[in-house]
Amino acid sequence: MAITIDMIKQLREATSAGMGACKEALNATNGNMDEAVKYLREKGLAVAAKRVDKESKQGIIALAKSEDQKVMALAEVNCETDFVAKTESFIKFVDDAAKVALEGKNIEETLIDDYKMLLTKTGENVKIRRSERFALEGNGCVSGYIHMGGKIGVLVELSCDKPCEKLDELAHMLCLQVASNSPKYVNPEDVPQAEIDAELEIKLNALKEQKGKLPPEQALVGIKKGMAQKYCTQVCLVKQDYVADGEQTVEKYVASVAAEIGAPVVVKRFARLQLGA
């Protein structure tokens, strides 16, 4: 069958693939439009397989929210270049990936055809890297935030018996805190003892090199306690200095808002995705 320019344009409109790729697909399938679409999708997977060794550290993190904002999800999709990350087709795919994650479905399985076509369009090693989904349990709120145009994504869940705008504002400010200060845990009791022990070993070795020897064991008890507490101020959200007011900790800020609301507020969990990290 003779392949016409109109057939090529029709396939391009349906797939957004390049003119050359569309012509190749139509020639390979004797002008069968459905088979040509399938050909392009399979070609996308073949391209990705050839570029599997190419680093995919660019991309976008997208946020999706339910209408009642009680469920929120983040999705991260990586590509090789910032140019591709800014294209309309890539941005749409990541937005769709976040919506699929919001529904609690597997992104790659649900969007397999769209994924194959994206590989064809971009010619890059595109990876659906990860997702996070928070569904509010009980009373409280969930908040989501995208920072630096999709380089960082954050989710925070708070528990409170009196949901209100003030609680929503608190959750948003904690999203900013998490984005800025990269905590690993909510509370000190969440930090694994093995991690604290490893940190203490590093600090004590540095102290020994500096002083020539370690203080007596009796003195070390207090030193270790102080080191552990300082480490927790770095990695635990509630112990960090509040970024919007360095005069108080996050813990004190949360307590002050709880007093205004008239009900206890508990930071239940957070998630922080950083592009390529």
How many of the other CB atoms lie within 10 Å of CB of 63?
A: 21
Per the domain annotation, does 241 fall within a domain? no
Q: CA nearest 127: which of 68, 48, 44?
A: 48
Q: CA nearest 58: which of 16, 91, 104?
A: 91
**Left if phi > 0, otherwise alpha if psi is -120 to 50, otherwise beta: which for 233?**
alpha
- Rounded to an integer, the average pLDDT of 172-182 is 97
* 93/122 same-domain check: yes
- Rounded to an integer, the average pLDDT of 59-70 is 98
* 59/131 same-domain check: yes
pTM assigned to the model: 0.81
* 131/141 same-domain check: no
* 59/178 same-domain check: no
Which of 19-23, 155-159, 172-176 has the least mean pLDDT? 19-23
Could you read off the pLDDT of 247-265 as tens digits, one per residue?
Answer: 999 999 999 999 999 999 9
pLDDT score recorded for residue 45 = 53
* 213/228 same-domain check: yes
Could you read off the pLDDT of 203-260 as tens digits, one per residue?
Answer: 888 877 777 777 777 778 788 889 999 999 999 999 999 999 989 999 999 999 999 9
* 231/259 same-domain check: no
**Domain C-terminal end among 50, 66, 81:** 50
Separation between Cα atoms, residue 56 and residue 49, nearest integer Å = 13
pLDDT score recorded for residue 263 = 98
Percent of the chain past pLDDT 90, that is, above it, reads 64
pLDDT score recorded for residue 123 = 81
Per the domain annotation, does 44 fall within a domain? yes
Domain count, the chain: 4
* 71/122 same-domain check: yes
* 270/145 same-domain check: yes
Which of 23-37, 121-135, 150-164, 174-188 has the least mean pLDDT? 23-37
Strands 127-135 and 58-65: unpaired
Average pLDDT, the chain: 90
Q: CA nearest 129: which of 71, 178, 181, 74?
A: 74
Per the domain annotation, does 243 fall within a domain? no
Per the domain annotation, does 242 fall within a domain? no
Per the domain annotation, does 63 fall within a domain? yes
- Identify the CATH number of the domain in which residue 106 sits: 3.30.479.20
Per the domain annotation, does 157 fall within a domain? yes
- Identify the CATH number of the domain in which residue 33 sits: 1.10.8.10
pLDDT score recorded for residue 148 = 94
- Rounded to an integer, the average pLDDT of 56-71 is 96
* 210/88 same-domain check: no
* 28/130 same-domain check: no
pLDDT score recorded for residue 142 = 98
* 15/40 same-domain check: yes
* 144/270 same-domain check: yes
Q: Print the domain residue range for 142.
A: 136-182+248-277
pLDDT score recorded for residue 108 = 92
Per the domain annotation, does 240 fall within a domain? no
